[in-house]
Structure 1
């Protein structure tokens, strides 16, 4: 018998993880230590608690799941994913995820690996702006869907079951066509996030969705009032009519709870709303669980649901509660194999390789990467008919220090292991070679120099903490490129865009029209970091090997597999010339 109530209210809890980056166990493979509040094994406790608090719930993964950890690297190198369930997918199945949206790093290892990884997922895998072409693997076509439908049943106070139809739409950055071009060309197309999401949301509403969730592997422009960005499109997506909850990621920020978006209009960083839409972004490595509680009202006369209220929260994962033992045990075999994998010896270094002071002086670790890139670039160019030009090498520190108290990647002189190489180069980038002239190289270095604070003469002093104080902490380490083969200086007393001077090649002033090949990573060559003249159009050669593998091969090519090179003091930060060696 139908209920005589006019309305009935309930709460639907939406839980989000994003940017886990392969971190499952609460363990840092580089420090070889347990790490509290880290990885999905720790997040699992927050998920369990959140489910107990709100029995009507959904758990959604929002991308960048299968790349970024030593365990993930081991799985790519040694695990038979084509035959057995990927260990990370075992965890998602055990945690009863309802949906997974793809992120950009899901494509780093190719479409075959992607399809094999998600083959055994016990939940829909979605992407609304990814179009699979004829050449895409058939098994991926069978696995991937444009959006997910979840049919729930809510029992009211009189025992009547009320159907609740939820649709989840997912989008990812179209820049994957640049970042992973060698894997994706002629196999997929990626449409703009905004127009794709608008179309998908309108379609699922027409098909009867009561609640629409937009899982967007993207963030928002930071420290600016301009919301227009085709990679960080979250503010634009929040304005789509018909979206009840917006799940963000990609930037590794925590929202609500950060002020980096406050310059944007209609962003409430305390309440967790963007243009009135409840939104959440759960940080990095499972550090937070994103929560959006939607209060739903059911109208019996119209047989329809309406969202009448919402609350957003990025819930920090406890660092005092032990990680979930069941999840850790589930991947214990993979964990032990990863430990063995990381200890495989591959050579030696006569020099300590350190990123620690790389933000204010040349770094031995950066130079190691740069030399490996030159070595690989020489081989790649020799197989082409391109004219001979000088080869330069651009690289950035991935794990430097912002302050004198910070720790950073440091590999002691002595044996080198796979783990050490993985610590030096944690990203699955490949090598690209770009062709640029002197003027364009100057612009590249000026962009890097934005990583230095503006300073006045009295603030500049040789040595001591002044060098640390010149670092701009808002500028990420991975964008602070130096270019080996050029000598130059950065003067923090000059205006942005006018800081780099005394640029020389082979001891002579750099000429504006002089041409070079520059070995760099595919992320940078294809627009990552918004460097001028680096949008893919200047790329002349693309390598297929991941740069971590290039480092391994470079060591193997050296006499006695030993790196002996002194650090080249080829650039200087004015005021820091007399500081200690890296």
Structure 2
């Protein structure tokens, strides 16, 4: 017989085919509505009795509609209920949690989990007191045509490094590898096929084994793949990669970002022995499928209210603060980047600010600033921290950022391939303000800074400086040196929409347009 897995991940609340840049454009080649149509078509093709439908998280945060859903549910969860119903319409058989599903707190997440019609599988986010799943259940067994399929669900253990303390209070995050190793031995004897839903990726190339990032525990996919042979099917997410491969007797998929594709794993199973004879892994692009009219109907009012919310004016600037191109802005600076840094310093009274360009489509602000402008330029639900560092530690951090770059033989300055492939990671590349710094890219990484001054004075190794930076970075995101929890002086209980609104309305902001850093 044939057994088919259809898998989505990292839809990030993009329920309809729009990125909300243009309020009249609903033709984007992604969305949960396209995922739903794709899955329903593939189900009809293979027969529902032969199909298992799964998702590996990051649904609650990421799109403007997701932001509106959270912002508008002050007294009740009416909009979250609608949002959840859209996911129920897809017809999932099992799901797991993603790291961004914790962004809006545990009560919000608990409501979402409770109102999901599919089992939420969770082996490694535990109640700290009882060591039992804090949300959902440990596993489920699904039967298709006499074939018993065990499903396990895990997420990255790194969530406490990114979330504010209140979002993870009372929770214990355990290694995904350790939990799958434990449960695989329990579940495998009970089933014919074992599949793992993992909101996590691969720390090494799944085929060659070559390390693709530091092995710090965020992504444990390669270790699970190579050391837990009981796993037949590996349904992954988190890294936003497009991945479909069969290696080490395991079929692996990861279907990109925002519902651009679904992963499809096909197992040919012997009718008598119930052993897997053959397996394949493919990605099916959703752009070729019309949005599911049922999801469009469910979220119509929520989407219309989102569009009205996005057009709310926040403030009027004395002059625009653009960023003409995200890549150019990273390398040369831009008024919008400076404005963001100015705001971070205003809220924290820090000496120095650090930020990344958070969106490849960032265009900065015109003179009139709306909610849409803020969310399209800064789509993440981060909070702002102030971090206490010595000058030496600050230098190490800036040197690390300069290590992202190289200068080619023809003089072009570009990012190293490992920050572009297999997944772009340029949201890890921070620039700093108002320090003036220069980096000679011909020098070895870690020894590139030829200038580092603040207010005309060199940064002193033993002097204490205060750095404004988002909580994701301050808590260890991005593999930077020197950051640690004990260096965080405080975290603001505001998101970036709230901060921009307050900063721009309470101040006559003069946008700093000077360039303060140079790579050569």
TM-score, with length taken from structure 2: 0.91
1:325 corresponds in structure 2 to 293
Indicate how the Cα distance of structure 1 residues 85 and 495 shifts in structure 2: closer, same or farther if over 3 A, else same.
closer
Deviation at 1:132, TM superposition (A): 1.8
1:7 corresponds in structure 2 to none
2:229 corresponds in structure 1 to 241
Q: Deviations over 1:399-458 (max 9, x none)?
A: 35xxxxxxx3224532111111111211011112211111111111112113322345xx
Deviation at 1:245, TM superposition (A): 0.3
Q: How many pairs are equivalent?
A: 502
Deviation at 1:145, TM superposition (A): 1.0
State the SS of the aligned residue for 1:293: strand
1:175 corresponds in structure 2 to 158
Deviation at 1:474, TM superposition (A): 4.7
| d(CA) in 1 for partners of 2:77, 2:372 | 25
Indicate how the Cα distance of structure 1 residues 213 and 473 shifts in structure 2: closer, same or farther if over 3 A, else same.
same
| d(CA) in 2 for partners of 1:342, 1:298 | 55
2:422 corresponds in structure 1 to none
Is 1:115 aligned to residue 110 of structure 2? yes
Deviation at 1:391, TM superposition (A): 2.3
Deviation at 1:16, TM superposition (A): 0.7
Q: 1:454 touches 1:495 (CA, 8 Å); kept in 2?
A: no
| d(CA) in 2 for partners of 1:179, 1:471 | 25
After the TM superposition, which parts of structure 1 deviate over 4 Å for at least 4 consecutive aligned residues? 471-474
Q: Deviations over 1:470-498 (max 9, x none)?
A: 34465333122111131111222222222
Q: Deviations over 1:280-312 (max 9, x none)?
A: 01000101110111122243xxxx632222110
- 1:37-76 equivalences under 5 Å are 37-55=29-47, 56-76=50-70
Deviation at 1:134, TM superposition (A): 5.2
| d(CA) in 1 for partners of 2:292, 2:168 | 41
Match of 2:505 among 545, 552, 556: 556
Is 1:499 aligned to residue 448 of structure 2? yes
State the SS of the aligned residue for 1:318: helix
State the SS of the aligned residue for 2:59: coil
Q: 1:372 touches 1:551 (CA, 8 Å); kept in 2?
A: yes
1:345 corresponds in structure 2 to 313
| d(CA) in 1 for partners of 2:252, 2:355 | 35
Indicate how the Cα distance of structure 1 residues 315 and 423 shifts in structure 2: closer, same or farther if over 3 A, else same.
same
Deviation at 1:36, TM superposition (A): 3.2
| d(CA) in 2 for partners of 1:113, 1:283 | 25
| d(CA) in 2 for partners of 1:376, 1:477 | 25
- 1:413-562 equivalences under 5 Å are 413-456=366-409, 459-460=410-411, 466=412, 469-472=413-416, 474-475=418-419, 476-559=425-508
| d(CA) in 2 for partners of 1:507, 1:102 | 48
Q: Deviations over 1:329-369 (max 9, x none)?
A: 22111110100110111101233333322122122112222
State the SS of the aligned residue for 2:484: coil
| d(CA) in 1 for partners of 2:58, 2:372 | 21
Is 1:187 aligned to residue 187 of structure 2? no
- Deviates most, 516-525 or 43-52: 43-52
| d(CA) in 2 for partners of 1:78, 1:275 | 47
| d(CA) in 1 for partners of 2:466, 2:51 | 53
Deviation at 1:572, TM superposition (A): 1.6
Higher helix share: 2
Q: 2:10 touches 2:259 (CA, 8 Å); kept in 1?
A: yes
Q: 1:392 touches 1:486 (CA, 8 Å); kept in 2?
A: yes
| d(CA) in 1 for partners of 2:79, 2:330 | 43
Match of 1:197 among 154, 168, 180: 180
- 1:147-226 equivalences under 5 Å are 147-152=139-144, 154=145, 162=146, 164-206=147-189, 208-221=190-203, 225-226=210-211
1:279 corresponds in structure 2 to 252
| d(CA) in 1 for partners of 2:80, 2:492 | 29
State the SS of the aligned residue for 1:545: coil
Indicate how the Cα distance of structure 1 residues 531 and 326 shifts in structure 2: closer, same or farther if over 3 A, else same.
same
| d(CA) in 1 for partners of 2:198, 2:430 | 29
Match of 2:270 among 279, 290, 297: 297
1:359 corresponds in structure 2 to 330
Point out the structure with max Rg over C-alpha: 1
| d(CA) in 2 for partners of 1:351, 1:84 | 36
Q: 2:19 touches 2:28 (CA, 8 Å); kept in 1?
A: no
Q: 2:345 touches 2:351 (CA, 8 Å); kept in 1?
A: yes
Q: Deviations over 1:8-55 (max 9, x none)?
A: xx1110111001111110112123322332111112222122112222
2:283 corresponds in structure 1 to 314
Indicate how the Cα distance of structure 1 residues 510 and 229 shifts in structure 2: closer, same or farther if over 3 A, else same.
closer
Which consecutive unaligned segments of at least 5 residues does structure 2 have? 420-424
| d(CA) in 2 for partners of 1:474, 1:422 | 28
Q: Deviations over 1:66-109 (max 9, x none)?
A: 11000000000003653565333212211111111001001011
1:568 corresponds in structure 2 to 514
Q: 2:320 touches 2:366 (CA, 8 Å); kept in 1?
A: yes
Deviation at 1:225, TM superposition (A): 1.4
